[in-house]
Amino acid sequence: MEETWRWFGPLDDIRLEEIRQTGATGIVTALHEIPYGEAWPEDAIRARQAMIEAAGLRWSVVESLPVHEDVKRGTGDLPRIFANYRESLRNLGRCGISTVCYNFMPVLDWTRTDLAYRMKTGALALRFDAVRQAAFDVLMLQRLGAEADHRPDVLAAAREWFAQSTETDRDTLLSSIMAGLPGAFDRYDVPGLRQMLESYAGIDAAALKANLARFLREVVPAAEEAGIAMCMHPDDPPRPILGLPRIVSNRQDLADLVAMVPSRSNGITFCTGSLGAGVANDLPAMAREFAPHVAFLHLRNVTKEPDGSFHEADHLGGDVDMPAVIAAFLDEEKRRGEEIPFRPDHGHVLLSDAGRKTHPGYTLVGRLRGLAELRGVIAGLRHRAPV
């Protein structure tokens, strides 16, 4: 497997020289400075690529070539947006970059309520707390009909939390939820988020899937011509959030995705953390079933709780059987005769990570520990005795 590392560009507090010392050889990044819906110029791609190569690394995966909200809503000047996306794919292909990760989550990317959940070891992790999410949805956002989306016991606890919370607590909760938009231009206050949610009124899961299918029909042929594998990232968490539909959350959703436009250029980013937060998701089974469609791997772990809460566990801890998942993709690599890029996804705040201005989850030492653990699993599985 190709070891890669997510880097947020020249403004990232973690330098390329540090990343090279982790042992990773591939960089996962994007041109975050270009607004959503605009084309990525070839010269800008090559300039960033040259910067990466000067550090002894290669630009292995684009994450992300964002999908404009108008595409998800099915509104606006879609012909121009589709044309710009196709141009970006062609320009990336001319630069020899052949894997593009993206997602189709409306408004928000990954959602967490706590960016500094203290583990027993003293490390800090990301956490999704069902009670605080309900407090935000029902009592801060005051979304119409929100009560129906939360369990009665969770709602009761949410009201208690809100009654005892300070303005600082509520501001921290909002900023934590907004932190799941790494590299994005938009950050919302409560009125702004409420307005964005209203723009999705009447768009249910079926309508969102129809808009995804239209997007794929428009851009996958260009990806094929450019030699690019597009790979959809699953929803995080894999459930509706703030009344917004989520359509890449489980086995059936993945099957629907690859069936929309059958092509090697229409594939999956298999994220064990996102899919692992789904109670009904059997990740080893899903890995074996969808391995032929997977172009990129995000490897991390989660520990789930009965009320729907979860936190990001050690890479080899939590609920996901990581060795079984990795074994499925090592077998797929043998079948293909080529490596699948993976990255250690998210990491705890460990040791000298404290105080560094990194994106939440994208620490240096925490991810380095995860990479070392995953590297050990891969090495062990490669030397397993034949069955």
* Same domain (yes/no): 239, 353: yes
pLDDT at 246: 95
- Using alpha carbons, list the distances in angstroms from residue 112 to 95, 130, 213, 236, 269: 35, 10, 28, 9, 20
pLDDT at 206: 97
Radius of gyration of the chain (CA): 20
* Same domain (yes/no): 187, 310: no
The reply to whether 176 falls in a domain is yes
Contact present, 331 and 293 (Cβ < 8 Å):
no
- How many Å apart are CA 65 and CA 77, to the nearest integer? 18
DSSP 292: G
Residue where a domain stops, chosen among 196, 217, 252: 196
Q: Give the residue ranges of the chain where pLDDT is below 50.
A: 183, 387
* Cβ-proximal residues to 26 (8 Å cutoff; 6+ apart), any chain: 2, 3, 4, 5, 57, 58, 59, 60, 61, 341
The reply to whether 221 falls in a domain is yes
- Using alpha carbons, list the distances in angstroms from residue 298 to 4, 68, 188, 294, 329: 10, 23, 27, 11, 12
How many residues would you count in the chain? 387
The reply to whether 65 falls in a domain is yes
pLDDT digits (tens, 9 = 90+) for 290-327: 999 999 999 999 999 999 999 999 999 999 999 999 99
The reply to whether 119 falls in a domain is yes
* Same domain (yes/no): 189, 309: no
Strand, coil or helix: 101: strand
Q: Quick check: is 348 catalytic?
A: no
The reply to whether 13 falls in a domain is yes
* Same domain (yes/no): 217, 265: yes
Closest CA to 276 of 241, 239, 226: 239
* Same domain (yes/no): 221, 192: no
pLDDT at 188: 82
* Same domain (yes/no): 150, 29: no
Give the ranges where the chain is alpha helix by DSSP (H): 16-21, 42-54, 69-73, 78-94, 130-134, 152-164, 167-178, 190-198, 205-226, 251-260, 272-276, 283-290, 322-336, 365-382
**Catalytic residue of the set 68, 150, 233, 315:** 233
**Catalytic residue of the set 102, 117, 200, 362:** 362
* Same domain (yes/no): 212, 151: no
The reply to whether 387 falls in a domain is no
**Catalytic residue of the set 12, 129, 345, 353:** 345
CATH number, residue 284: 3.20.20.150
pLDDT at 186: 60
Strand, coil or helix: 82: helix
Determine which helix (DSSP H) or strand (DSSP E) holds 230, and give its type and residue range: strand 229-232
Pairing mode of beta strands 266-271, 294-299: parallel
Closest CA to 52 of 89, 91, 12: 12
* Same domain (yes/no): 147, 278: no
- Using alpha carbons, list the distances in angstroms from residue 324 to 313, 329, 330: 17, 9, 10
Q: Quick check: is 282 catalytic?
A: no
Q: Quick check: is 383 catalytic?
A: no
pLDDT at 297: 98
- How many Å apart are CA 118 and CA 289, to the nearest integer? 36
Q: Quick check: is 362 catalytic?
A: yes
**Catalytic residue of the set 150, 315, 346, 348:** 346
**Catalytic residue of the set 150, 298, 311, 348:** 298
Domain that residue 163 falls in: 114-196
pLDDT-above-90 percentage for the chain = 95
pLDDT at 384: 75
* Same domain (yes/no): 150, 61: no
Number of domains in the chain: 2
Determine which helix (DSSP H) or strand (DSSP E) holds 176, and give its type and residue range: helix 167-178
Q: What type of residue is 174?
A: L
Residue where a domain stops, chosen among 170, 196, 222: 196
Pairing mode of beta strands 310-313, 124-128: antiparallel
Contact present, 297 and 252 (Cβ < 8 Å):
no
The reply to whether 165 falls in a domain is yes
Residue where a domain stops, chosen among 169, 196, 223: 196
The reply to whether 23 falls in a domain is yes
pLDDT at 217: 98
Q: Is the peptide bond before 64 cis (omega within 30 degrees of 0)?
A: yes
Q: Give me the sheet containing 301-304, strands edge to edge.
A: 114-118, 124-128, 310-313, 301-304
* Same domain (yes/no): 94, 45: yes
* Same domain (yes/no): 242, 342: yes
* Same domain (yes/no): 301, 364: yes
Q: Quick check: is 271 catalytic?
A: yes
**Catalytic residue of the set 271, 311, 315, 353:** 271
pLDDT at 187: 66
